[in-house]
Every structure is written in structure tokens, then in C-alpha cells.
Amino acid sequence: MLFESAPAKINLGLHIIRRRADGYHDLSTVFHPIGWADRITVSPAGNISMTCTDATLSCGKDNLVIRAARLLQKVAGIDQGALFHLEKKIPRGAGLGGGSSDAAAALRMLSNHWKSDDATIALKSLALKIGSDVPFFLHGQTAYAEGRGERLTPMADYAFPFSLAVVVPPVHISTAWAFQQVIVSGMNPPNLIEVVRSNDLDRWRCELVNDFEKPVFSQWPIIQEVKSSLLRSGAGFASLTGSGAGVYGIFESKEDAVVAAEEAAAKGYATWHQAAIDT
């Protein structure tokens, strides 16, 4: 039996650059993995199937784990199956990339288990067939992303010195809907790698923008209120992640991050907090 952790991500800045002929959008963002994670196990089986701790999640062919496994099985010409068990911790429809991360974990585990070299080489293109941010999760290290999100510049040596609180109010946002709402400004985005690397929260507040905030906040003021309350609790920077509904706050004080997460949890929101890693 193989075991993997499938971490969530947050977006540090997110600009929609242009609408493409294929219906997708080119974007510019920094993906940053966080400790909130699903757990996946896989064991040998005749067919591809899965079970999940979340009874509301489909375990059928529309689940990204099943789609990823079937795609790899087909491309690599494998006649074995796999039985997955998914312990779901990351909220869905939150902009945290949980489903994409699960799919990437499935690809990693099966390519290892099935020891298919050809398939390993093609893993990134298979990942992109499953979803735009699945290629990022194959490696899961902080990265600057362009294109649909698959053109990755790793920021492997980037150290994130802050504590974090993530709050997900009970709103489900369709990513496709959110992309349709954004009015593409046509302006050049800032150099996100440079802004993020500065770790200067005053700069982040001025220069790190998520283009989804405007339409999402105007449709669901409750999400804007989550951001405001993280800032009131002492966050030096707060932002929607992806197309939401998750919002994160970045704190210089780990105590403030805990209090902010606890306040949101008391309102019944899903929350996560992590203390800065001491370096």
C-alpha cells in the first residue's frame, strides 16, 4: 500500500492576462503549497476505483483521481487497476486546489507503482489534461505560473517566513463562472516573483492583487467580510485564493493567526492555521 499527502495551495497574486482562442485564460500567479492536506492511499486491485471519507464527493469517473488514474493506465498501456482511499480534509470549491492536488498525487503514486518510464516523461501533459493547476501539484513547490497555470518557474529556495490562517465561508464558486466575470485589463502584471520574494507585507498589500476579488466580493459580500476580519485580526496581508471562496491572512504573529482562525471557526467556517516555520 502506498501513501501520499496532497497539499492545498494559495495564490500569492493572480492576474488574468488574456482570454485565449481555446476558451481558457492566460494568467500570472505564484502558487504556494500549504500544510492543509488530503491523504491518499492506493493498493493493488483489478479495476480502478476509490472510496472517500466525504460521502458528498462522487467516487465515480468524474472524480479527478479516477480520471487521472484511467488516463495514465491508458497512455502507459497498463493492465492493472488500483484502489484508492481519499481522506478529504481540504474544502472543495475553495480555490485551494484540493481536487487537483489529489489527482497529481494519484499520478505520482501510480507512475511509481506501475514503474512506467514513458508515462513518467509524459506526466506533466497528462496532468494538464486533468486540470490547469494539476502540473503545479506534481512537484508542489512554490512556483511562478503562466499560461493556463502550467508554465512553471520553480521558486525552490523561496522561504515563507509568516504564519497563516485560511478561512473558507460556506459559498461554492464555479471557477468557470469566475473566469467569465473578470474584465481583462490588458495591463502588464507586476513582477510577482520579485514582489513575493521581497517578503515585504507593505509591498504585498500594494502590489499583490487577485483579479477574482472584484467580481467575487461583489457577488458574495460575506467573502469580503472574511478578508476584512482577517486584516482586523492583525494580518499584514489578506487575499482571496484562486477564484475563492477561500481567503487567507498572513501574519507576523503566530498567536494572531490562531486567534483569527478560531474566530472564523466559531462562526462555523472551515479554517486552517499554521505557524511560521522557524529557520
Residues that bind ligand C5P (CB under 6 A): 24-25, 27, 131-132, 148-149, 175-176, 179
Can you say whether residue 159 is alpha, beta or left, with left for phi > 0 and alpha for psi between -120 and 50 degrees? beta
> Could you give the CA distance from residue 230 to residue 250 in angstroms, rounded to a whole number?
9
As a residue count, the chain comes to 279
Residue among 107 and 165 whose Cβ is closer to ligand C5P: 107
Question: In the complex, what is the shortest distance from the CB of residue 135 to ligand C5P, in angstroms, rounded to a whole number?
Answer: 10
Residue among 22 and 79 whose Cβ is closer to ligand C5P: 22
Question: In the complex, what is the shortest distance from the CB of residue 18 to ligand C5P, in angstroms, rounded to a whole number?
Answer: 10
Closest alpha carbon to 8 in 246, 210, 257: 246
Question: In the complex, what is the shortest distance from the CB of residue 16 to ligand C5P, in angstroms, rounded to a whole number?
Answer: 8
115 is catalytic: no
Closest alpha carbon to 13 in 239, 261, 265: 239
Residue among 78 and 90 whose Cβ is closer to ligand C5P: 90
Query: What residue is closest to ligand C5P based on CB?
Result: 132
Residue among 175 and 253 whose Cβ is closer to ligand C5P: 175
DSSP E strands: which ranges in the chain? 2-19, 25-45, 48-52, 81-87, 143-146, 151-154, 163-168, 237-240, 247-251, 270-274
Question: In the complex, what is the shortest distance from the CB of residue 163 to ligand C5P, in angstroms, rounded to a whole number?
Answer: 29
Cis peptide leading into residue 143 (ω within 30°):
no
Catalytic residue among 9, 38, 88, 102: 9
> Could you give the CA distance from residue 196 to residue 207 in angstroms, rounded to a whole number?
9
Residues 163-180 as b or e (16 or more Cβ within 10 Å = b): bbbbbbbebebebeebbe
Closest alpha carbon to 162 in 272, 279, 253, 256: 253
Residue type, 164: L
∠ CA(262), CA(265), CA(267), 5° rounding? 120
Question: In the complex, what is the shortest distance from the CB of residue 115 to ligand C5P, in angstroms, rounded to a whole number?
Answer: 28
256 is catalytic: no
Catalytic residue among 38, 133, 211, 256: 133
Residue among 16 and 196 whose Cβ is closer to ligand C5P: 16
Active-site amino acid positions: 9, 133
